[in-house]
Chains A and B, each alone.
Chain A
């Protein structure tokens, strides 16, 4: 869906992007993360064909952003980190203008505006002036304007910035809903907890470079590195599956016992042990069976989903999640 190849972007003051390459699958919700100044917004603007890369190329739905920027503009929705609204227009006028200016035929524009408003929960505010909306509602209107033409790709740059917890929860729900409809989203933030709820993939930038090997897929059980072509990375780079095993009582020699079974122990806390297993469903069954057969009092056996922040830290440091935590 989105294919970036060796993207370099220079400002007069220096290089902002340094050979960034990645692929985003159709239907993915990609978290674009990195510290302030990492190049996230610059990359977003290049994907949105608002700025042309100094070198390299980006294609969205197979269209090169430099060859046909207007087709890119028409095909995606983009909400910058700092954006404005036409404060003296009503919500209805804002959405009608957005629809018409994004190619929705005049006859279909009112319905498109109503549908976008309904999607973000602004149906009851259609006649309010945009300037009279709260920050959270303005954010919703901004997103509604970006998706009124039903784009296949939506770029949201720091969408939760400045929102209160309730508005953030509402935003998360909206993004999950959009993802559920098959829309491809890229959401940038430097606050990882914002992205935890809805992202299926993660791309980390630091000082204009991709860190962590590429796009990391967050599939609910494990985090696997996806190579630049969108496929799985080589065997050696696959992330292990982490499992929390709870025992009936703390065991003084648990570490030795688990070691004797050939298991990789990442951490032991009282009666719980975190084990690292190969990313293979068969390994989970085999391990549980081995633990029971060894006579260990297993009370619980559950997969551990690392938080986005843990994954980010691990990938940024070049380690697998859980490495370095060994008891």
Chain B
């Protein structure tokens, strides 16, 4: 047996606990039956679904996150990092071992809900939902482990203990669910209620993706499966980094490119006047920009690595390509793709819709650049700063800036602080100036040695080295 799985089972899934966990759905379904007496066919499905959500989508991700974070708290993480297990063995050992009890609860709940749903609708319909549920569960728990590993890296770079709160996970969960909802919306799965039969079924409008027509239900299921696969792969790659292995440098860029292609494949709504290519470029650019924000937030604020990257870029020292490849920050590749796609989109818009639309696209790009500069400056200034605080500052920058602009600059004022079509040129210039200032600020922060009297004891108490 996988030693990591075995250890997790020893710690978290002794027989007594497993029996206790298995008793929960039995009691809940018994209560549902006693209260409902079979009057409402969906009562069991809803109860099972609720338990599944609680166990597989909330409890399991927390456990997988804790399977990494708790090792740091217990000061056993370095012991794990120096083991001889392959990264994948360690990854799946944690994914499966740490979630044995959540999955027992989720699996039993899903099984009962599936049987009930199959009896009142059809086997294939129930099977589809079971697959979707399992896919979501895998996606969430793999993301939980990935978030835990990211938190470990960030805390090590910041010289602080890993965050005890699961805020990062909550944000990621919301992001993933939002992404799932977008896919859902794109697949045109419009709910229709057949009140007479008491049956809810998804609509079956065909989905057009890159010009080809697909069954929306199957498309959604496959998409979810691909997302879950990517999440597991993401956790595995982060585990490799923790074990001091180097990941292939093109994988992240490849993922961003594929995600952009995936988003660009959804054909434009025929009711809008946006051109197909414009639509595809805007969608792909938006996905790349989101990945750039994600990369800027999840990568540790490691000033040493950033300095190495800048040194490798320095033409006076001779371009050090090998070092450049290994030290390139996560934000760089999606940002480069965003730049290419949005500039291309601006050219298309200039041709089809005129200069203001093109300038608005470029202004959007400038403000993305500004935001990334602000994130870098804030994170390198105080690496322990929370992601949520940074996002709130950015949001405030937009809201307060727009209000101030409106108060003192009239209708054109907001264009100084947000991408605005009135006038787009002003917005572009303002965004460009702010982006330049933000990146100068960030570069200054990266170049400054970070000396903090508070760091030393934190380093000593954690696994970061005690120098």
Given contacts A54-B308, A78-B78, contact A70 B463 (CB under 8 A): no
Given contacts A78-B78, A86-B74, contact A100 B6 (CB under 8 A): yes
- A-chain residues with CB within 8 Å of residue B78 when the two chains form the complex: 50, 78, 80, 83
Q: Which of B165-173, B283-291, B414-422, B446-454 contacts A (4 or more CB under 8 A)?
A: B446-454
- Interface pairs (24), CB distance under 8 Å: A12-B157, A13-B449, A13-B451, A13-B452, A41-B465, A41-B467, A42-B465, A42-B467, A49-B244, A50-B78, A50-B81, A70-B244, A70-B245, A74-B84, A80-B78, A82-B461, A83-B76, A83-B78, A83-B79, A84-B74, A86-B7, A86-B11, A93-B7, A101-B85
B379 to chain A, nearest CB (A): 12
Given contacts A42-B467, A84-B75, contact A89 B304 (CB under 8 A): no
Are A12 and B7 in contact, with the CB atoms below 8 A? Answer: no
- A-chain residues with CB within 8 Å of residue B11 when the two chains form the complex: 86, 88-89
A97 on interface, CB distance cutoff 8 Å: yes
Other A-B contacts than A70-B244, A100-B3, 10 sampled, CB-CB below 8 A, are: A12-B449, A13-B451, A13-B452, A41-B465, A41-B466, A49-B82, A80-B78, A84-B74, A97-B10, A101-B80
Given contacts A70-B84, A74-B84, A82-B463, contact A12 B74 (CB under 8 A): no
Are A101 and B467 in contact, with the CB atoms below 8 A? Answer: no
Given contacts A37-B467, A101-B3, contact A86 B76 (CB under 8 A): yes
> Within the complex, which residue of A10, A42, A145 is in contact with B79, where a contact is CB–CB below 8 Å?
A145
B303 on interface, CB distance cutoff 8 Å: yes
Given contacts A37-B467, A45-B465, A101-B4, contact A73 B75 (CB under 8 A): no
A67 to chain B, nearest CB (A): 10
- A-chain residues with CB within 8 Å of residue B80 when the two chains form the complex: 101
Q: How far is the CA of A149 from the CA of B79 in the complex (A)?
A: 13
A169 on interface, CB distance cutoff 8 Å: no
Q: Which of B224-246 contact A (CB under 8 A)?
A: 243-245
A116 on interface, CB distance cutoff 8 Å: no
Q: What's the tally of chain A residues with a CB closer than 8 Å to chain B?
A: 44
Are A69 and B3 in contact, with the CB atoms below 8 A? Answer: no
B212 on interface, CB distance cutoff 8 Å: no
* Closest B residue, CB atoms, query A66: B244
Q: How far is the CA of A81 from the CA of B461 in the complex (A)?
A: 10
* Closest B residue, CB atoms, query A142: B79
B450 to chain A, nearest CB (A): 4
B83 on interface, CB distance cutoff 8 Å: yes
Are B460 and A52 in contact, with the CB atoms below 8 A? Answer: no
Q: How far is the CA of A191 from the CA of B303 in the complex (A)?
A: 33
- A-chain residues with CB within 8 Å of residue B299 when the two chains form the complex: none
B455 on interface, CB distance cutoff 8 Å: yes
B302 on interface, CB distance cutoff 8 Å: yes
Q: Which of B1-48 contact A (CB under 8 A)?
A: 1, 3-4, 6-7, 10-11
B383 on interface, CB distance cutoff 8 Å: yes
Q: How far is the CA of A147 from the CA of B227 in the complex (A)?
A: 41
Are B304 and A82 in contact, with the CB atoms below 8 A? Answer: no
- B-chain residues with CB within 8 Å of residue A76 when the two chains form the complex: 82
Are B7 and A39 in contact, with the CB atoms below 8 A? Answer: no
> Within the complex, which residue of A12, A69, A145 is in contact with B304, where a contact is CB–CB below 8 Å?
A12
- B-chain residues with CB within 8 Å of residue A208 when the two chains form the complex: 467
Are B7 and A97 in contact, with the CB atoms below 8 A? Answer: yes
* Closest A residue, CB atoms, query B1: A106
* Closest A residue, CB atoms, query B304: A10
**Shortest 9 CB-CB contacts between residues of A and residues of B:** A84-B75, A100-B3, A69-B244, A103-B84, A74-B84, A101-B83, A12-B303, A84-B74, A16-B467
Are A69 and B243 in contact, with the CB atoms below 8 A? Answer: yes
Q: Which of A28-78 contact B (CB under 8 A)?
A: 37, 39, 41-42, 45, 48-52, 54, 69-70, 73-74, 76, 78
- B-chain residues with CB within 8 Å of residue A42 when the two chains form the complex: 465, 467
- B-chain residues with CB within 8 Å of residue A70 when the two chains form the complex: 84, 243-245
* Closest B residue, CB atoms, query A81: B466
Are A11 and B244 in contact, with the CB atoms below 8 A? Answer: no
> Within the complex, which residue of A13, A83, A88, A101 is in contact with B450, where a contact is CB–CB below 8 Å?
A13
Q: How far is the CA of A98 from the CA of B336 in the complex (A)?
A: 45
Q: Which of B244-262 contact A (CB under 8 A)?
A: 244-245
A140 on interface, CB distance cutoff 8 Å: no
> When each residue 72-114 of chain B gets 1 if its CB lies under 8 Å from chain A and 0 otherwise, what string results?
0011101111111100000000000000000000000000000
* Closest A residue, CB atoms, query B448: A12
* Closest B residue, CB atoms, query A83: B75
Are A50 and B157 in contact, with the CB atoms below 8 A? Answer: no
> Within the complex, which residue of A48, A51, A87, A102 is in contact with B84, where a contact is CB–CB below 8 Å?
A102
- A-chain residues with CB within 8 Å of residue B450 when the two chains form the complex: 12-13
A294 on interface, CB distance cutoff 8 Å: no
Q: How far is the CA of A80 from the CA of B74 in the complex (A)?
A: 13
> Within the complex, which residue of A13, A45, A102 is in contact with B83, where a contact is CB–CB below 8 Å?
A102
Q: How far is the CA of A87 from the CA of B302 in the complex (A)?
A: 33
Are A101 and B84 in contact, with the CB atoms below 8 A? Answer: yes
Q: How far is the CA of A50 from the CA of B242 in the complex (A)?
A: 9
A88 to chain B, nearest CB (A): 6
A61 to chain B, nearest CB (A): 15
Q: How far is the CA of A101 from the CA of B76 in the complex (A)?
A: 13
> When each residue 343-359 of chain B gets 1 if its CB lies under 8 Å from chain A and 0 otherwise, what string results?
00000000000000000
Q: How far is the CA of A208 from the CA of B467 in the complex (A)?
A: 9
* Closest B residue, CB atoms, query A93: B10
A283 on interface, CB distance cutoff 8 Å: no
**Most chain B CB atoms below 10 A, which of A52, A78, A83:** A83
Q: Which of A244-301 contact B (CB under 8 A)?
A: none
Q: How far is the CA of A292 from the CA of B85 in the complex (A)?
A: 67
Are A11 and B304 in contact, with the CB atoms below 8 A? Answer: yes
> When each residue 262-304 of chain B gets 1 if its CB lies under 8 Å from chain A and 0 otherwise, what string results?
0000000000000000000000000000000000000000111
Q: How far is the CA of A51 from the CA of B465 in the complex (A)?
A: 9
**Most chain B CB atoms below 10 A, which of A10, A49, A97:** A97
Are A52 and B244 in contact, with the CB atoms below 8 A? Answer: yes
> Within the complex, which residue of A11, A80, A84, A106 is in contact with B467, where a contact is CB–CB below 8 Å?
A11
> Within the complex, which residue of B10, B244, B383 is in contact with A50, where a contact is CB–CB below 8 Å?
B244
- A-chain residues with CB within 8 Å of residue B465 when the two chains form the complex: 16, 41-42, 45, 51
* Closest B residue, CB atoms, query A90: B10
Q: How far is the CA of A88 from the CA of B449 in the complex (A)?
A: 42
> Within the complex, which residue of B76, B304, B383 is in contact with A84, where a contact is CB–CB below 8 Å?
B76
B339 to chain A, nearest CB (A): 29
Q: How far is the CA of A16 from the CA of B75 in the complex (A)?
A: 22
Are A14 and B451 in contact, with the CB atoms below 8 A? Answer: yes
> When each residue 110-154 of chain A gets 1 if its CB lies under 8 Å from chain B and 0 otherwise, what string results?
000000000000000000000000000000000001000100000
Q: How far is the CA of A89 from the CA of B465 in the complex (A)?
A: 26
Q: How far is the CA of A47 from the CA of B11 in the complex (A)?
A: 31
* Closest B residue, CB atoms, query A48: B82
- B-chain residues with CB within 8 Å of residue A39 when the two chains form the complex: 467
* Closest A residue, CB atoms, query B77: A84
> Within the complex, which residue of B303, B449, B460 is in contact with A82, where a contact is CB–CB below 8 Å?
B460
